[in-house]
Amino acid sequence: MQNLQKIKDKLQQYKIKPSLIRIKVLEYLNSTREHPNAEKIYKKLLKEIPTLSRTSVYNTLKLLTQKGAIKEIMIEEGEIRYDGINERHAHFKCVKCNNLYDLKLKCKSCLEETDLNKVKVMDEHIYIVGICKKCLKKGE
Ligand SMILES: [Zn+2]
Ligand SMILES: [Zn+2]
């Protein structure tokens, strides 16, 4: 129950009215580190809400993204995944298993501060592409 209140608080913090589907989508995205795409989110929530429509999931994701409660991650063209972790972090994509891992960032920015002072940063995406530990082990 405490978790539910947390989700509601977060929605309120981003000025989003808490509806069942918004709560469920955000709850799922906050609990996973898999960075699911819309289809995966739909299938997962369909088990809990049998009347759920694909459109309402898409609309909810759009709203949550616009308000800043979640992040859209575009890795490849046509592949949008969603991230409910709001702390700044980078992503590592494995080309073998297609998993997207979170990487912690140490410094405030990897860019020259002077270049950033002249612009307004609205969004930031840092990707690293490679082969993950597990897949490297398999390949040995
Ligand atoms: Zn891998
Ligand atoms: Zn992430």
State the CATH number of the domain containing residue 17.
1.10.10.10
| Claim to verify: residue 132 and residue 66 sit in the same structural domain | no
Reading the block at residue 22, the tokens are 């918004």
Q: Is the dihedral of CA 101, 54, 14, 121 positive or negative?
A: positive
| Claim to verify: residue 73 and residue 95 sit in the same structural domain | no
Contacts of residue 62, Cβ cutoff 8 Å, sequence gap at least 6: none
d(CA 138, CA 96): 10
| Claim to verify: residue 102 and residue 72 sit in the same structural domain | no
pLDDT at 60: 98
| Claim to verify: residue 65 and residue 7 sit in the same structural domain | yes
Distance 121 CA to ligand 1 centre (A): 31
Distance 29 CA to ligand 2 centre (A): 10
| Claim to verify: residue 72 and residue 134 sit in the same structural domain | no
Total structural domains in the chain? 2
| Claim to verify: residue 93 and residue 65 sit in the same structural domain | no
| Claim to verify: residue 11 and residue 72 sit in the same structural domain | yes
How many Cβ atoms are within 10 Å of 16's Cβ, its own excluded? 20
| Claim to verify: residue 99 and residue 54 sit in the same structural domain | no
Nearest Cα residue to 28 out of 14, 7, 54, 2: 7
pLDDT at 103: 92
Contacts of residue 86, Cβ cutoff 8 Å, sequence gap at least 6: 69, 71
Segments forming the whole domain that contains residue 58: 2-83
Distance 55 CA to ligand 2 centre (A): 24
Each residue's pLDDT expressed in tens, for the chain with a length of 140 residues? 568 999 999 999 999 999 999 999 999 999 999 999 999 999 999 999 999 999 999 999 999 999 999 999 987 777 899 999 888 899 999 999 989 999 988 876 667 777 778 888 888 888 899 999 999 999 87
Judging by DSSP bridges, how do beta strands 89-94 and 100-104 pair with one another? Answer: antiparallel
How many Cβ atoms are within 10 Å of 11's Cβ, its own excluded? 19
Among 64, 83, 102, give the residue marking a domain's end.
Answer: 83
Distance 136 CA to ligand 1 centre (A): 7
| Claim to verify: residue 74 and residue 93 sit in the same structural domain | no
Distance 91 CA to ligand 1 centre (A): 13
Distance 98 CA to ligand 1 centre (A): 6
**CATH number where 125 lies:** 3.30.1490
| Claim to verify: residue 125 and residue 67 sit in the same structural domain | no
| Claim to verify: residue 100 and residue 40 sit in the same structural domain | no
CA 66-6-92 angle, 5° bins:
55
d(CA 101, CA 127): 10
The predicted model scores a pTM of: 0.84
| Claim to verify: residue 27 and residue 12 sit in the same structural domain | yes
Distance 90 CA to ligand 1 centre (A): 16
Reading the block at residue 40, the tokens are 């995966």
pLDDT at 12: 96
